Amino acid sequence: MTMVEYALLAFSSLFVIVDPIAVVPAFLAMTPRDSVAQRLRTARVACLVTVGLLSGFALFGQTVLRLLGITLPAVQIAGGLILLLVSLDMLRAQRSTVQETAAETAAGTSKDDIAITPLAIPMLAGPAAISTVILLETQATTWMLRAVLLGCLVLIGLASYSILAIGARSAKWLNPIAEKIIARLMGLLLAALAVQFMVNALTGDQGLLRGLTGH
């Protein structure tokens, strides 16, 4: 797998699963009395925490799994199932409870500071995002690819902050119909990726792109 192929795979899959666009409505609902400056601060802290947490799993996730005696195929199947659950909700154009529950969103509206919880965890960096990072790290066979993964996480953080910042300034740009169409398309791609992870685990194929392209 080349660096470009891996970078495209990592960024696209992480952006879909972190899904900052879908977080914007909840973000605005949880900060109704905040000024634009306060919302920007909240978004900045949340994105920094998200990048830090996911980077930690990218660096040490496999080490923790080895200490717990969890095998790579088990992680691939479990992660694939989580992604599949999220993708099925995306195909219905709704936010998955795997990413956050209605109770967590409602609890956020009564909190003074929602940056770390529930905005960063679990809305942006939830179980699905963590699973995706660990799965992607298993595909990183060299330190260069691991560096690419960390770079993609930083880009995801910047993209998430930019989207939340736009939402904080004005929510008029959000078109509900376009959002639902994009969610369904991304859900279809994510479902295919989830199934491929599970196929790789069952066949022992560690080359994700090789399995996807048939080469």
69-116 pLDDT, tens digit per residue, is 877 677 778 767 876 777 787 677 665 555 455 555 555 444 547 888
Q: Global pTM?
A: 0.70
- Give 134-186 as a DSSP string: HHHHHH--SHHHHHHHHHHHHHHHHHHHHHHHHHHH-STT--HHHHHHHHHHH
* Model pLDDT for residues 15-66, shown as the tens digit of each residue: 988 989 878 877 877 787 888 899 999 999 999 999 999 999 999 987 887 8
Is residue 36 within 8 Å of residue 174, measured between CB atoms? no
